[in-house]
């Protein structure tokens, strides 16, 4: 193969051997990938190996659909339906609060925000991602709990705030990645600024926005410390937005320190259920993204 350079000259292009540094990097990257895969496999083995005895002793249906969680009673009861519903309600509430605000904020940063204001707002949003969960928890106890009590609503509002950096950051990147010709073409056809943004640019960025929502969902459903501090931690069926609730993550953290025997196995089984929830979310996202790419 030859490559023409200048007037009439040709330089041969030869596929030489990889440099030693490239080979070393290739090996390092391969080892990192293998270690990551092994870590996931080992976690799965640990979880399922320790959870299977609980499923056998309690019964899968009774464990998932039971409404009573009383490890200290005789006989003990291990039903996690209240915790499953609590996690689902709090997570949905967080998405209702955080996703619209996050997407609108991302659109503002890309299409409307002046550059001087952007230099102030963007670092502030990034700073939200670095605040520890316990600090969010203290904020929730001081500012949200006095208004709504230890309840599903308080936890949803707090988690909605916590997922904002994730939703805003990824949504902003997705909107910026859309070719500017989409926006200019919409304006040329007579659309106004906001109509062009929300009817053309934002739909074109739907894959990235969907990824932001899914990662925000994962952050919300896996959050523990802040939820413990504001949700009330009551292992009962959630009946109202203003009633206390306990999530699956909170249930594990609160009781794992002193749990033994079947109680400990039931808590690990709760972790398996949470793991399956995250897996379902990721698989659903992959399917939706694949469908969007085909469209």
**Rg of the chain on CA atoms, in Å:** 25
Select from 207, 130, 135, 125 the least CA-distant residue to 164: 125
pLDDT per residue as tens, the chain (295 positions): 445 544 445 445 454 566 777 888 889 999 999 999 999 899 889 888 889 989 999 998 999 998 999 888 788 889 999 999 999 999 999 999 999 999 999 999 998 889 999 999 999 998 988 899 999 999 999 999 999 989 999 999 999 999 999 999 999 999 999 988 988 898 888 888 889 989 999 999 988 898 899 888 888 888 888 899 999 888 888 888 898 899 999 999 999 888 888 999 999 999 999 988 888 888 877 777 776 665 5
What's the pTM? 0.83
**Upstream peptide bond of 75 is cis (omega within 30 degrees of 0):** yes
Cα–Cα distance for residue pair 82/103, rounded to 1 Å: 31
Select from 290, 104, 295 the least CA-distant residue to 202: 104
Looking at 1.10.1740.10, 3.40.390.10, 3.60.20.10, 1.10.3720.10, the CATH number of the domain 80-294 comes to 1.10.3720.10
Q: Are 174 and 212 in contact (CB under 8 A)?
A: yes
Cα–Cα distance for residue pair 125/45, rounded to 1 Å: 38
Q: Look-up: residue for tokens 């689902």?
A: 88
pLDDT tens digit string along 104-145? 999 999 988 899 999 999 999 989 888 999 999 999 999 999
- With the C-alpha atoms ordered 231, 232, 237, 240, is the resulting torsion angle positive or negative? negative
Domains in the chain: boundaries: 80-294
Q: Running DSSP on this structure, what letter comes out for residue 70? A: E
């Amino acid at each position: 193969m030859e490559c023409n350079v200048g007037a009439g000259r040709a330089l041969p292009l030869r596929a030489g051997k990889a440099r030693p540094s490239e080979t070393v990097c290739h090996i390092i990257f391969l080892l990192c990938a293998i270690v990551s895969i092994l870590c996931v496999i080992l976690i799965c083995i640990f979880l399922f190996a320790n959870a299977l005895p609980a499923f056998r002793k309690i019964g899968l249906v009774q464990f998932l659909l039971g409404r009573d969680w009383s490890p200290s009673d005789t006989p003990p009861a291990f039903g996690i339906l209240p915790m499953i519903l609590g996690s689902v309600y709090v997570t949905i509430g967080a998405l209702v609060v955080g996703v619209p605000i996050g997407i609108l904020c991302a659109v503002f940063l890309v299409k409307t925000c002046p550059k001087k204001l952007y230099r102030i707002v963007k670092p502030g949003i990034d700073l939200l991602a670095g605040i520890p969960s316990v600090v969010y928890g203290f904020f929730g106890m001081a500012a949200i709990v006095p208004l709504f009590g230890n309840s599903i609503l308080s936890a949803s509002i707090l988690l909605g705030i916590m997922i904002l950096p994730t939703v805003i950051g990824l949504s902003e990147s997705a909107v910026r990645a859309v070719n500017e010709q989409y926006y200019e073409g919409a304006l040329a056809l007579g659309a106004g600024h906001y109509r062009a943004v929300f009817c053309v640019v934002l739909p074109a960025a739907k894959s990235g926005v969907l990824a932001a929502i899914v990662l925000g969902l994962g952050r919300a459903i896996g959050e523990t410390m802040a939820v413990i501090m504001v949700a009330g931690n009551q292992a009962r069926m959630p009946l109202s937005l203003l009633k206390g609730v306990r999530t699956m993550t909170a249930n594990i953290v609160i009781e794992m320190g002193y749990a033994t025997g079947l109680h400990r196995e039931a808590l690990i089984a709760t972790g398996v259920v949470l793991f399956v929830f995250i897996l379902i979310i990721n698989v659903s996202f992959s399917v939706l993204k694949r469908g969007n790419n085909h469209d």
